[in-house]
Amino acid sequence: MQIDQMVCIGCGECIAYCPVKAVKQESGVAEIDFDLCVECGTCKRYAPCPVDAIHESPETDQWPRVLRREFSDPGIAHSTTKGYGRGTEESKTNDVTGRVKPGRVALAMEFGRPGISTRLGELEKMTTALAGAGVHFEEKNPVTFLLADPATGKMREDVKNERVLSAILEIEFNTDQLPRMLSVVEGVEQSLDTVFSLGLYTRLNDDGSIPVLSMLEGLGVPVRPNAKVNMGLGKPLVLD
């Protein structure tokens, strides 16, 4: 995004609308920090600019900068998965997608949030560590498409400098690998230059119990089960 310096009257109305503080006003007119901007479009859509000075820059839709927009503007679909927002249904729709099978566990890791953001290169610290541990990267996730080699977890060099509001990495593995995977995640998490959150997904046992509960308690991990079920997205699976 950019502000037309010849049109802006420096009223400052747009500054508070930017979730990453990329709009600056230091010399009368406002301008957008090109590196900080995640192309979320909030300023253009909602700031009441009296002179219509906020516009997309020529690079907004160019590769690799277009990734900023795909990950940060909820109105733009990802070119890879066709999904909106972070571009993945996430495992929380598992009741209708059946993505995570019995005996398997999925982790969804979010890097960045509004107000903080992340460079896509930050995710490589985690993807390389997890690839070494032998995880499966979820195919229907836009982050997986950015991996140059899923076997090593290395990301494409040309995308690593792009900054996005947040991105979700999803992996899957057999239940008995959970302690090792959590150890890998914990080892990397401290080195991240952004905020990080982790969600764990699993199918319930036939009796309704949670298969990994005792394992997590044994590892000293506090458990707060979330029974959010996205009904209405499809027919719930009974057997799979």
Cis amide prior to 50 (ω within 30 degrees): no
In angstroms, what is the minimal distance from the CB of 71 to ligand SF4?
12
- The tokens of 213 are what? 């509960």
Which H helix or E strand runs over 214?
Answer: helix 213-218
The stretch among 10-18, 102-110, 119-127, 180-188 that binds ligand SF4 (CB under 6 A) is 10-18
The stretch among 11-19, 83-91, 178-186, 188-196 that binds ligand SF4 (CB under 6 A) is 11-19
| Contact call for residues 1 and 57 (beta carbons, < 8 A) | yes
The reply on whether position 76 binds ligand SF4 by CB under 6 A is no
Give the nearer residue to ligand SF4 in terms of CB position, either 3 or 100: 3
Sole binder of ligand SF4 in the list 11, 77, 198, 216 (CB under 6 A)? 11
How do beta strands 167-174 and 104-111 pair?
antiparallel
Task: Kindly list the strands in the beta sheet with 104-111, ordered across the sheet, starting from the edge strand earlier in the chain.
Answer: 136-137, 167-174, 104-111, 196-202
| Contact call for residues 175 and 202 (beta carbons, < 8 A) | yes
The reply on whether position 10 binds ligand SF4 by CB under 6 A is yes
Give the nearer residue to ligand SF4 in terms of CB position, either 41 or 87: 41
| Contact call for residues 164 and 72 (beta carbons, < 8 A) | yes
# of chain residues touching ligand SF4 (CB under 6 A): 29
- The tokens of 13 are what? 């109305």
Cα of first residue to Cα of last residue in the chain, in angstroms, is: 46
In angstroms, what is the minimal distance from the CB of 70 to ligand SF4?
13
The half-sphere exposure of 206 on its side-chain side, counting CA atoms within 13 A, is 2
The reply on whether position 146 binds ligand SF4 by CB under 6 A is no
Query: For ligand SF4, what does the binding mask look like between residues 19 and 58, x meaning CB under 6 A?
Result: -x-xx------x-x----xxxxxxx---x-xxx-xx----
The reply on whether position 223 binds ligand SF4 by CB under 6 A is no
224 burial (CB, 10 Å; 0-12 / 13-18 / 19+) is exposed
The reply on whether position 67 binds ligand SF4 by CB under 6 A is no
The reply on whether position 135 binds ligand SF4 by CB under 6 A is no
In angstroms, what is the minimal distance from the CB of 96 to ligand SF4?
32
The residues of the shown chain that bind ligand SF4, judged by CB under 6 A, are 1, 3, 8-14, 17-18, 20, 22-23, 30, 32, 37-43, 47, 49-51, 53-54
